[in-house]
Amino acid sequence: MILSNRYNFLYVHIAKTGGTSVRAALRRLQWKDPYYLAQFICSRLSHMTGHRIAAKLPRHAKIICAQEMLPKEFFDGLFKFAFVRNPWDLQVSSYHHLKRERPHLLAGHESFEAFTRWKLDPQRPYQYHLDTSITLQTDYLIDLHGRILTDFIGRYETLHEDFAHICKIIGVPPIELPHKRQATDRKKDYRSYYSDDLAELVGKHFARDIELLGYRFDPV
């Protein structure tokens, strides 16, 4: 999550939706923020204390976290945005990310189908990186009453166009998005990873995302 006082925006970073590229592009704006030094110091202090002082908004914090921590008038006046992604494609991206960065988490479940079924098993013990990857994207966007709090929801599928629109709204020249964390070992078409029943299983788990965000297994 990135908060900018100078440009009056709040970016809600949902994992595996192009957020690393968005953060890299927005970083240059952070340096111009009058509160950047204070934010940086608080972030370092939070890290040094094992995040026990509640002095920062975590990278993948949900928007309700910012709503609770910030003054109401200030929060309401922010331009709040996030990016989302087709849930079936997101799970393929998550699989390759964990396979590359934390391969020990795949132990005994090396194939995409076996790993995804295991992740979605409600009897599986909690594991932060696994559970974060199957958290509903809409959970990051809503308040306690289920109301969407973001002003704009961009899409990974139109990442560059939507980010250009965001730059226009916050009043900055268009910023080129860098290419970050692109997997080289995955197939381009996410649908090739799925059997019919696995696609249905993922669809059931992410039913609210699919309904509210308008996704489907076969893109239009």
Q: Is residue 79 a part of any domain in this protein? A: yes
**Number of domains making up the chain:** 1
With bands split at pLDDT 50, 70 and 90, how would you rate the model's confidence at 216? very high
pLDDT bucket at 93, cuts 50 / 70 / 90: very high
Q: Is residue 220 part of a domain?
A: no
Angle subtended at Cα 18 by Cα 131 and Cα 48, rounded to the nearest 5 degrees: 60
Instruction: Give the per-residue pLDDT at 119.
Output: 94
Residue 219 in domain: no
Q: Classify residue 41: in a domain, yes or no.
A: yes
Q: What is the pLDDT of residue 185?
A: 72
Q: How far apart are CA 56 and CA 12, in angstroms?
A: 14
User: What range does the domain containing 100 cover?
Assistant: 2-213
Distance (Å, whole) CA 193 – CA 115: 12
SS3 50: coil
Condensed to tens digits (0 to 9), the pLDDT of residues 99-150 reads: 999 999 998 898 999 999 999 999 999 998 899 999 999 999 999 999 999 9
| Per-residue model confidence as pLDDT tens digits over 39-89 | 777 777 777 777 676 666 777 899 999 999 899 999 999 999 999 999 999
**What pTM value is reported for the model?**
0.88
